Homo-oligomer: A and B are copies of this chain.
Amino acid sequence: MGVGQILSRIENVLPKLTQSEQKVARFVLSAPEEVVFMSVQEMANRSLSSSASVVRFCRSMGLKGFPELKVAISADLAKDQKSGYYDLNKNENTADLVDKILSNAVQSLRDTVGLLDLEMIEKVAHTLYNAPAVFAYGVGASALVAEDIAQKWLRLGKNAYALSDLHVLTMSMANAPKGSVFIGISYSAATKEVLQMMKFAKKTGLVTISFTGFGKSELSELSDFSLFTSLAPEAKVRSAATGSKHSQFFIIDVLYYVCASIDIEASLDKIQKTRDAINSLKRTEAAD
């Protein structure tokens, strides 16, 4: 990887640079696709600094020199290319549509990774690992996520449930053993039922986790741990929570693997057992 991510790295260290290096940095960020074809002198002129400052800037970025900067920027630009959110137009041909949907999905995943709080992930994974029972709850598209959580942690031998009947869910949580976890899922963070269940779970003494689109909300504030997915710019047809779904499942994947690797041997053993059980139902393979 090494060179990668130079542009965001520049953005990050920018305030720590000297004035003239900042001039260079800002210029690079403003027109990276031009920089790639420039000479040091040209850069110096355009950024109103000196060639020495340009080279010094490169060094500050951990590079050997100016040519390496060009190479790094070029790589960075190429990476970003295929991503970005696109709006879907009216008379789009199918091929373009596919490209755009792909692009949106990928961008959504990348953005989500960008705002992932790794420490939080680890904490949550450990919390789930130690939980005697897990209750995941969401409605609409978020119900799918809840169901995914339940299925995954069942494979790890957890008592994991995605109960959709609020009465059943309430009763289950009321008597859940200490350390049990409630996961409230709502992309909008404003679903009445999820909020209601979150409050109940908290009152009942469960460990609470919220799983929402990025940003503060009553739901996330209430919960002991909060996980966020990127917020895709909403478009009309996109109302089916499309972009966000990929991100949500992605975070569940991450949590699942982190949780499984806490004791990988035991996890693999349990996964095998669930697989055998499924196979005993006479399907040729375990996964569907």
21 A-B pairs within 8 Å (CB atoms) are namely A67-B70, A70-B74, A78-B79, A79-B79, A79-B81, A88-B257, A90-B264, A91-B261, A94-B118, A94-B122, A94-B254, A94-B258, A97-B254, A98-B113, A139-B288, A144-B147, A147-B147, A190-B285, A191-B283, A237-B257, A249-B249
| Extra pairs beyond A74-B74, A151-B240 (11, CB < 8 Å) | A4-B81, A36-B71, A37-B68, A71-B71, A76-B78, A141-B148, A155-B239, A188-B285, A191-B283, A191-B288, A239-B275
Query: Which of A75, A118, A140, A190 neighbours the largest number of chain B CB atoms within 10 Å of its CB?
Result: A75
Contact (A101, B257) CB under 8 Å given A151-B140, A236-B271 = yes
Q: Are A185 and B236 within 8 A (Cβ)?
A: no
Q: Are B75 and A77 within 8 A (Cβ)?
A: yes
Contact (A283, B190) CB under 8 Å given A78-B4, A250-B102 = yes
The residues in A between 207 and 255 inclusive whose CB is less than 8 angstroms from any CB of B are 234, 236-237, 239-242, 244-246, 249-250, 253-254
Q: Which residues of A contact B (CB under 8 A)?
A: 3-4, 36-37, 67-68, 70-72, 74-79, 81-82, 88, 90-92, 94-95, 97-99, 101-102, 105-106, 109-110, 113, 116, 118, 121-122, 138-144, 147-148, 151-152, 155, 185-188, 190-192, 194, 234, 236-237, 239-242, 244-246, 249-250, 253-254, 256-258, 260-261, 264, 267-268, 271, 275, 278, 281-288
Q: How far is the CB of A154 from chain B (nearest CB, A)?
A: 10
Say whether chain A's binding surface is mostly helix, strand, loop, or mixed: helix
**Out of B75, B185, B257, which one reaches A75, CB within 8 Å?**
B75
How far does the alpha carbon of A18 sit from the alpha carbon of B113 in the complex, in Å? Answer: 46
Q: Are A101 and B188 within 8 A (Cβ)?
A: no
Cβ–Cβ < 8 Å partners of A81 in chain B? 4, 75, 79
Q: Are A284 and B190 within 8 A (Cβ)?
A: yes
Q: Are B241 and A245 within 8 A (Cβ)?
A: no
Q: Are A253 and B287 within 8 A (Cβ)?
A: no
Cβ–Cβ < 8 Å partners of A191 in chain B? 283, 288
